[in-house]
């Protein structure tokens, strides 16, 4: 629309409003005609209000119908073929009735591999359906707890208390990340939103590591399907990795205030109204004096405010002691606005009555459930494919047992494979049923959703090399250490 830079007076004549006394009205009509040209449509608040509220898309309804159909077909298949319904609901296995002990956890109907593609696909589907029948209950419980945390806790207040990093803030950020269901796929906008909200990099990274690695639905799924020791191992390891990275980054940022030393992208922060006013005053002066501005030109007490602008990545000090706008080194003629919502609930429900809160909780749970069914389908289909297509001896050979190399290989596989959050538990179940060791499973559960080549590639466009190396290095080492320790603990307690 900038190409339509408008000479109001000439347009006034074109509109047939030539009287200078009508200049005000001219301006109005000009803006209206220009806006209605279709190149700068501005949605009015009334029109926006008409669109407010959550409405499931057609795809969401389709996924929901597919989940219901798949669940029903799993139960129906077991019932029609005289298979054990108990094993189906408890372990997600299609097996004959009457099996007990270890056999009941491992035996499944034969699904021979052949070139009969429709038959193989059918087995993938039906074994996936069996996994769905088992994990569905944990999925629903997890969604309800996630909804309760969203409704009953004001995360905006939690965010406000994070302060400038440090152990307490990192712990708070990691906890917030661990309880809020955010998929690893949306990591960059969340990062941008947090930096924009003024949260330091240490807690931001602690949050970003914990969010995909851990959340309430997946903890319940892990505990229900793989057992509480695995779920506890997952929680402890996630916090260990998140707090380590957060602490190192907080220390780095205390040494180097400017976030541009850590981030490749520039995210303009939201400043307090007072600081923003000062920043704009500084901006006008700095635009006139590109070499820099003396602090005293901005009035008393400006040095401290300029330091705050430096911490926000807006100002920098020259060797001569002058202050200038940071060099964005951006020759682009597009204004880049890298920003996103931090996805933290505003805590508006805090003011509701108890009954209203519960009603809101169920509404939110239903909304989460409807929104995330696509992931559930993807997860159980991958699990079904692993069960049918991956030979057991390959799994036991590579990632079976409790040796260090099994954990190492599982960590590498987890990083190379892009396992979206919510998908890792069913796929781990399938791999475990094929013989994957417990430590290797934990490494896979941590590394799969937390670290993957696509997310590393995405973050390489955001973080500078050493931050990325810290993130990848500590996460990978954390997976290996956690897996190895878990193997050791399991051996000791058995």
Partner 1 sequence: MNETTNSVIRLYYQPQSFPCGPNSACCGPVGQSEEEVRGYVSALVNRFPGVQVELIDVSQKLRAGRDSPALKILNTFGTAACPVFTVNDEVISIGPPAMSELIPLLAEKLQVKA
Contact set with partner 1 (CB under 8 A): 1-9, 20, 23-24, 26-28, 30-32, 34-35, 40-45, 47-52, 193, 266-268, 270, 276-277, 279-280, 283-284, 287-288, 314, 325-326, 328, 330, 332-337, 339-342, 344, 346
**C-alpha distances out from residue 348 to 52, 63, 172, 371, Å:** 16, 30, 20, 21
The alpha carbon torsion through 64, 69, 72, 78 (nearest 10 deg) reads -130
261 CA to centre of own chain = 24
Which of 27/401 has CB closer to partner 1? 27
Give the nearest distance from C-beta 158 to partner 1 in angstroms: 14
* Helices 438-450 & 201-213 angle (0-180, nearest 10): 120
Give the nearest distance from C-beta 64 to partner 1 in angstroms: 21
Give the nearest distance from C-beta 142 to partner 1 in angstroms: 24
10 Å Cβ neighbour count for 482?
25
Give the nearest distance from C-beta 279 to partner 1 in angstroms: 7
Give the nearest distance from C-beta 288 to partner 1 in angstroms: 7
Contact in structure between 440 and 396 (CB atoms under 8 Å): no
Contact residues for 384 (Cβ-Cβ < 8 A; gap 6+): 123, 124, 125, 126, 127, 128, 129, 130, 131, 430
Which of 296/327 has CB closer to partner 1? 327
30 CA to centre of own chain = 44
Give the nearest distance from C-beta 480 to partner 1 in angstroms: 38
Which of 51/494 has CB closer to partner 1? 51
Which of 254/289 has CB closer to partner 1? 289
Which of 103/330 has CB closer to partner 1? 330
Phi-psi region of 16 (alpha: psi -120 to 50; beta: other; left: phi over 0): left
Q: What is the DSSP string of 326-393?
A: -------SS-------------GGGGS-HHHHHHHHHHHHHHHHHHHHHHHHHHHHHHHHHHHHS-HH
Give the nearest distance from C-beta 123 to partner 1 in angstroms: 42
Which of 326/378 has CB closer to partner 1? 326
Residue whose C-alpha is closest to residue 211's, from 412, 486, 451 = 451
Task: Cite the DSSP H helix spans in 390-437.
Answer: 392-399, 404-416, 424-433
Give all strands (DSSP E) within 205-299, no chain letters.
none
d(CA 150, CA 233): 25
Contact residues for 339 (Cβ-Cβ < 8 A; gap 6+): 189, 192, 193, 196, 267, 268
To 5 degrees, how large is the angle CA 265–CA 269–CA 272?
170
Give the nearest distance from C-beta 283 to partner 1 in angstroms: 5
Which of 277/397 has CB closer to partner 1? 277
Which of 43/103 has CB closer to partner 1? 43
Give the nearest distance from C-beta 51 to partner 1 in angstroms: 4
Give the nearest distance from C-beta 312 to partner 1 in angstroms: 10
Contact in structure between 133 and 70 (CB atoms under 8 Å): no
Give all strands (DSSP E) within 165-322, no chain letters.
315-317
Which of 10/59 has CB closer to partner 1? 10
Give the nearest distance from C-beta 409 to partner 1 in angstroms: 41
Give the nearest distance from C-beta 328 to partner 1 in angstroms: 4
3-state DSSP assignment of residue 316: strand
Contact in structure between 236 and 162 (CB atoms under 8 Å): no
3-state DSSP assignment of residue 323: strand
Cα dihedral sign, 330-332-335-339: negative
Q: Please classify residue 79 by burial: count the beta carbons closer than 10 Å to its beta carbon, then call 0-12 exposed, 13-18 middle and 19+ buried.
A: exposed
Which of 190/399 has CB closer to partner 1? 190
Give the nearest distance from C-beta 71 to partner 1 in angstroms: 31
Which of 113/341 has CB closer to partner 1? 341
């Amino acid at each position: 629309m900038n190409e339509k830079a408008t000479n109001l007076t000439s347009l006034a004549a074109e509109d047939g409003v030539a009287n200078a006394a009508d200049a005000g009205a001219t301006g109005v009509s000009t803006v209206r005609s220009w806006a209605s040209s279709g190149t700068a449509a501005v949605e009015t608040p009334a029109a926006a209000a008409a669109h407010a509220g959550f409405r499931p898309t057609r795809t969401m309804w389709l996924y929901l119908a597919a989940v219901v159909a798949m669940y029903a077909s799993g139960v129906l298949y077991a019932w029609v073929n005289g298979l054990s319904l108990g094993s189906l609901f408890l372990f997600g296995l299609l097996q004959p009735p009457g099996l007990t002990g270890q056999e009941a956890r491992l035996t499944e109907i034969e699904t021979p591999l052949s070139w009969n593609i429709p038959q193989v696909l059918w087995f993938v589907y039906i074994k996936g359906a069996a996994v769905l029948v088992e994990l569905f209950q944990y999925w629903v419980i997890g969604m309800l707890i996630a909804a309760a945390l969203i409704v009953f806790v004001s995360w905006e207040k939690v965010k406000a208390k994070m302060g400038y990093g440090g152990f307490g803030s990192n712990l708070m950020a990691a906890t917030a990340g661990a309880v809020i269901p955010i998929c690893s796929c949306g990591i960059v906008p969340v990062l941008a939103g947090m930096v924009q909200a003024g949260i330091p990099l240490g807690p931001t990274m602690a949050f970003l590591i914990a969010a995909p690695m851990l959340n309430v639905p997946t903890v319940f799924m892990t505990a229900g399907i793989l057992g509480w020791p695995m779920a506890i191992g997952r929680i402890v390891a996630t916090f260990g990795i998140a707090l380590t990275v957060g602490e190192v980054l907080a220390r780095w940022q205390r040494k180097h205030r400017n976030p541009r030393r850590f981030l490749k992208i520039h995210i303009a922060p939201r400043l307090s109204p007072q600081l923003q006013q000062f920043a704009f005053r500084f901006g006008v002066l700095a635009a006139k004096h590109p070499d820099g501005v003396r602090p005293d030109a901005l009035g008393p007490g400006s040095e401290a405010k300029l330091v705050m602008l430096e911490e926000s990545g807006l100002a920098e000090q020259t060797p001569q002691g002058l202050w200038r706008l940071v060099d964005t080194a951006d020759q682009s003629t597009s204004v880049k606005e890298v920003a996103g919502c931090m996805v933290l609930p505003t805590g508006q429900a805090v003011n509701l009555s108890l009954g209203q809160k519960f009603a809101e909780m169920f509404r939110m749970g239903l909304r989460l459930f409807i929104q995330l069914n696509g992931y559930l389908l993807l997860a159980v289909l991958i699990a079904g494919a692993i069960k049918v297509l991956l030979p057991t001896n390959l799994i036991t050979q590579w990632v079976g047992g409790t040796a260090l190399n099994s954990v190492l290989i599982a960590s590498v596989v987890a990083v190379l494979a892009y396992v979206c959050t919510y998908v890792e538990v069913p796929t781990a179940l399938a791999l475990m049923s094929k013989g994957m060791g417990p430590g290797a499973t934990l490494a896979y559960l941590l590394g799969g959703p937390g670290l993957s080549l696509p997310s590393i590639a995405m973050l390489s466009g955001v973080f500078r090399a050493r931050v990325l190396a810290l993130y990848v290095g500590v996460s990978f080492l954390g997976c290996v250490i956690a897996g190895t320790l878990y193997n050791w603990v399991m051996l000791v307690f058995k």
